[in-house]
Amino acid sequence: MNALLILPALLLSCNSVAMFAPRSTPAACCAERFPEAQSPLSVKGGAEGTNLGDVLGNLSRSTGLVVTASSAVSGMLAATGAGLMADAVIPAEEAYSFTESLLAANGFYISSIHGGQTPTIQIVDVRSTRDFQFLAVAPAELDSFSAHPSLLVTVNIEMKTADTRQFANSMRQVLTNPASERIVAFGSSGALQLSGPTTLVKSMIALAQAADGAAEARAAKAAGSAAEDR
């Protein structure tokens, strides 16, 4: 069985892809774009609990991060509760991962639009807009953004042996959001551009590496069989 045909089963919870290059900004150091939190986050649970807008406000005060959103998204954040059953105090070192996990669980993602002295993010609802940026990240840098599951990134990789077009077509069977989850194969060059939330992009890289490894193994086996036949 062709290894590429079984890849969609591994990503049944992911979304669809569009064949165009995402608008991106170059990555700087993760710490430059996401300053460390200086204090814990207090989140109220229950029916009258903290909403996502207030969670982001608390994160902004703790980190100095500037948080922006359209008026429509701001209203949606204010109307969406954090969903905690009881009050919680989130340690400073978990402030980003906690907040971003809540955002992603409710369909919101982060577009990093500025670093430096005034690091700024935009909260976007990818279900209703394509007006956002992907942060261009080198594959080796991706792990440094592991605390940011809702950050939208784009990564370029190379497949040495596997057919990139076949891999991309296989992946598109399970990707369902063309705005935020994209895979582009550049002809027969072996180059792939993967875009989406960091967690999804890391999964796609792992699948691409597995497909490439399987293709290399098949090629080596075929070469060995051909040598034996001579």
CA distance 99 to 43: 10
Reduce the DSSP state of residue 122 to 3 states and report it: strand
Partnered with residue 157 across adjacent β-strands are 192
Whole-number pLDDT of residue 226: 59
Answer with the residue of higher pLDDT: 228 or 68: 68
Q: What is the mean pLDDT of the chain?
A: 83
Q: Is the pLDDT of residue 28 over 90?
A: no
Please state the rounded mean pLDDT for residues 31-58: 94
Q: How many CB atoms lie within 10 A of CB 26?
A: 9
pLDDT of residue 60: 97
pLDDT score, position 188: 75
Which is nearest to 88 in space by CA: 49, 54, 53, 56?
A: 49
The domains of the chain are located at 1-23+133-230, 29-127
Q: What is the pLDDT of residues 80-95, one digit of tens each?
A: 999 999 999 999 999 9
pLDDT of residue 179: 78
- DSSP assigned state of 87: -
The average pLDDT across 101-122 equals: 91
Residue 126 has pLDDT above 90, yes or no: no
- At 96 the pLDDT is 96
| Residues 6+ positions from 75 with CB-CB distance below 8 Å | none
Name which of 118, 105, 99 is nearest 53 in CA terms.
99
R_g of the chain, CA atoms, integer Å:
20
Task: Pick 24 or 211 by higher pLDDT.
Answer: 211
Backbone angles phi, psi at 160, to 5 degrees: -80, -35
Mean pLDDT computed over 34-43: 95
